[in-house]
Amino acid sequence: MISQNEYQMLKNAMPFLATLSQEDRNALLQSAIHGHFDKGETIHDGTRCTGVLLVKSGCLRVYLLSEEGREVTLYRLFEGDICILSASCAIHNLTFDVLVDAEEDTDLTVIGGCAFAELADRIPEVKIFALERAVSDFSDVMWVFEQILFMSMDRRLAIFLLDELSKSNTDTIKLTQEQIAKYMGSAREVVSRMLKYFSGEGIVENLRGGIRVKDKKRLRAIAM
């Protein structure tokens, strides 16, 4: 069974919980288990329906893995976030597999895939919740897809950062995201989102009023 604190977190992440009957809510909560995963551990390998994951602390990375072992990060999940693609049995029409790793030491509440699917089949609010999460993931994935496909913003930003770096004798670029966007002729939101992605990949660190480049080698690879 889960603690009061954990229940509060679940309720914030899954607003439909409050509208369920006592019986349905209990069935869902009784399927929930704690999970602690060390940094680097695989939580969901795509071969079975692991369940719905709530991040209590830490960070999850959702990614694709090719037969040749190549990985592409799709998005990350942080405290309070829900992972639904690991519960593929609860979503019809979902025919692809992703993997989920703990990117830091991570504590999860795992809601059983079967218990969740049973509710989703019966209660429209639960089904809509699951589908809307999946569509939101779809949007995140499309962003990564477009960046990689069209080799535009990631490459352009990498080239820009390397150019700026070559002008300074440090590993830090003293420009705000606003300034970078202006110099690149791009929108601040686009630059900001891409810097967040670079930061998540450990390539840069976003500082107040500047950017520190942590992995020049990878930045060069992107710029090529």
Binding site for a second copy (CB under 8 A): 64, 66-68, 70, 72, 91-96, 124-125, 127-128, 131-132, 134-139, 141-143, 145-146, 148-150, 152
Q: Closest CB to a second copy among 52 and 213?
A: 52
Q: Closest CB to a second copy among 1 and 224?
A: 224
For the bound state, the minimum distance from the C-beta of residue 154 to a second copy, rounded and expressed in Å, comes to 13
For the bound state, the minimum distance from the C-beta of residue 190 to a second copy, rounded and expressed in Å, comes to 11
Give the integer Cα–Cα distance in Å for 92 and 221.
Answer: 38
For the bound state, the minimum distance from the C-beta of residue 44 to a second copy, rounded and expressed in Å, comes to 16
For the bound state, the minimum distance from the C-beta of residue 213 to a second copy, rounded and expressed in Å, comes to 25
CA atoms within 13 A on the CB side of 66: 5
Q: Which 3 state secondary structure label does DSSP give 33?
A: strand
For residue 208, give the amino acid letter.
R
Angle at 1 between CA 44 and CA 100, to 5 degrees: 10
Q: Closest CB to a second copy among 139 and 166?
A: 139
* 36 touches 42 (CB < 8 A): no
Q: Closest CB to a second copy among 130 and 195?
A: 130
Q: Which residues on adjacent β-strands are paired with residue 33?
A: 110
For the bound state, the minimum distance from the C-beta of residue 148 to a second copy, rounded and expressed in Å, comes to 7
The b-or-e profile of 5-31 (16+ CB within 10 A means b, else e) is ebbebbeebbebbeebeeebbebbbeb
Q: Closest CB to a second copy among 35 and 113?
A: 113
